[in-house]
């Protein structure tokens, strides 16, 4: 059972997700505790790297994310479950756009096993590589500047290229699932994902539980532009409500 302080600090982070900057007095009023208690909580959360103190308040700190090669070693079983569930959703699609990331590579690997005679447009070399095991899948690579840490092409050429196509589904990962949409740690990739969302009839976000309630610099779409989210654990109440208000179908596998 969580201690009262832990519950209170979780609530502070939730409040900062809804309003990224809050004053000490406002937090004290909302949580019905003294301003001294709030200041101590903010100091502890700042030491943990979860927020940044400001004069008289706090802001939620933006997260960072390791390179894609490191991410491939994390949450492997969870991502495999997500991939299996995602393929069931996209059955019948003929043209896909797939973004970069560890979970999208897992999903592409499952697509290569379970689907055939489709076309996939991608900017991710990892996605293209795992799809290559299936000779019936036509892979079209996006041009652009090569981003080594992400193993993907980005930039104006990539965005312009994608704007010349339509797809049945865009399948995208996310560094974070926040209150007003999915976000990515890399601004360059966020721009590519936005282009994919705009050119696809439906958009599916695949993201493990570690991405829930995290904020990153590049929010690439509001929830109203996302059709489905597949994850491996039930999100918290605040995120579930954001998905519901955005009309997003949630699948927990």
Residues 6+ apart with CB under 8 A from 244: none
Cα gap 139→61, rounded to integer Å: 38
- Give the pLDDT score at 97: 98
- Give the pLDDT score at 42: 87
Q: What is the mean pLDDT of residues 143-161?
A: 96
Instruction: Give the pLDDT band (50/70/90) at residue 218.
Output: very high
Q: What is the mean pLDDT of residues 223-249?
A: 96
Listed in order, the ranges of the chain carrying CATH 3.40.50.1360 are: 68-252
What CA dihedral angle connects 196, 197, 199 and 200, to 10 degrees? 110
Cα gap 120→98, rounded to integer Å: 7
Cα gap 160→59, rounded to integer Å: 35
Q: pLDDT (tens digit, 9 = 90+) per residue, 90-125? A: 999 999 999 999 999 999 999 999 999 999 999 999
- Give the pLDDT score at 47: 79
Whether the per-residue pLDDT at 11 is higher than 90: the answer is no
Among the residue ranges 25-39, 70-84, 132-146, the one predicted with the least confidence is: 70-84
Exposure string for 199-215, b = 16+ CB within 10 A, e = fewer: bbebbbbbbbbbbbbbb
Instruction: Give the pLDDT band (50/70/90) at residue 5.
Output: confident
DSSP 210: G
Q: What is the DSSP string of 120-139?
A: EEESBHHHHHHHTT-TTSEE
Instruction: Give the pLDDT band (50/70/90) at residue 15.
Output: confident
- Give the pLDDT score at 90: 98
Q: What are phi and psi of 180, to 5 degrees?
A: -125, 20
Token pair of 32 as six digits: 């019905």
Q: pLDDT (tens digit, 9 = 90+) per residue, 39-86? A: 898 888 887 777 777 777 877 666 555 556 555 566 788 999 999 999
Which residue, 109, 55, 46, is CA-closest to 82?
109
Listed in order, the ranges of the chain carrying CATH 1.10.10.10 are: 4-60
Q: pLDDT (tens digit, 9 = 90+) per residue, 166-212? A: 999 999 999 999 999 999 999 999 999 999 999 999 999 999 998 99
- CATH tag for 4-60 (out of 1.25.40.10, 3.40.640.10, 1.10.10.10, 3.40.50.300): 1.10.10.10
Q: What is the mean pLDDT of residues 220-224?
A: 98
- Give the pLDDT score at 149: 86
- Give the pLDDT score at 69: 57
Among the residue ranges 211-215, 223-227, 246-250, the one predicted with the least confidence is: 211-215
Three-state secondary structure of 15-34: HHHHCCEEEHHHHHHHHCCC
Among the residue ranges 14-28, 35-49, 115-129, 221-235, the one predicted with the least confidence is: 14-28
Strand partners, 172: 205
Token pair of 16 as six digits: 């900062």
Q: What is the CATH number of domain 68-252?
A: 3.40.50.1360
- Give the pLDDT score at 68: 60
- Give the pLDDT score at 9: 86
Strand partners, 145: 154
């Amino acid at each position: 059972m969580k201690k009262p302080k832990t519950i209170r600090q979780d609530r502070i982070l939730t409040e900062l997700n809804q309003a990224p900057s809050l004053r000490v007095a406002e937090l004290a009023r909302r949580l019905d505790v003294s301003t001294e208690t709030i200041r101590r909580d903010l100091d502890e959360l700042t030491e943990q790297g979860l927020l940044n103190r400001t004069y008289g308040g706090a802001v939620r700190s933006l997260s960072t994310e390791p390179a894609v090669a490191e991410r491939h070693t994390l949450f492997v079983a969870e991502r495999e479950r997500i991939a299996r569930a995602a393929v069931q959703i996209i059955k019948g699609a003929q043209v896909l756009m797939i973004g970069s990331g560890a979970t999208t590579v897992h999903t592409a690997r499952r697509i290569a096993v379970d689907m055939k005679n489709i076309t996939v447009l991608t900017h991710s070399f990892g996605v293209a590589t795992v799809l290559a095991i299936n000779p019936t899948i036509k892979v079209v690579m996006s041009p652009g500047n090569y981003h080594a840490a992400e193993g993907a092409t980005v930039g104006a050429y990539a965005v312009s290229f994608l704007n010349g196509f339509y797809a049945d589904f865009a399948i995208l990962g996310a560094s974070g699932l926040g209150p007003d949409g999915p976000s990515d740690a890399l601004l360059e990739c966020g721009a590519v994902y936005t282009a994919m969302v705009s050119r696809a009839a439906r958009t599916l976000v695949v993201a493990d539980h570690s991405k829930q309630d995290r904020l990153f610099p590049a929010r690439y779409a509001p929830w109203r532009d996302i059709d489905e989210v597949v994850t491996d654990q039930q999100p918290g109440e605040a995120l579930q409500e954001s998905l519901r208000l955005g009309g997003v179908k949630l699948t927990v596998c």
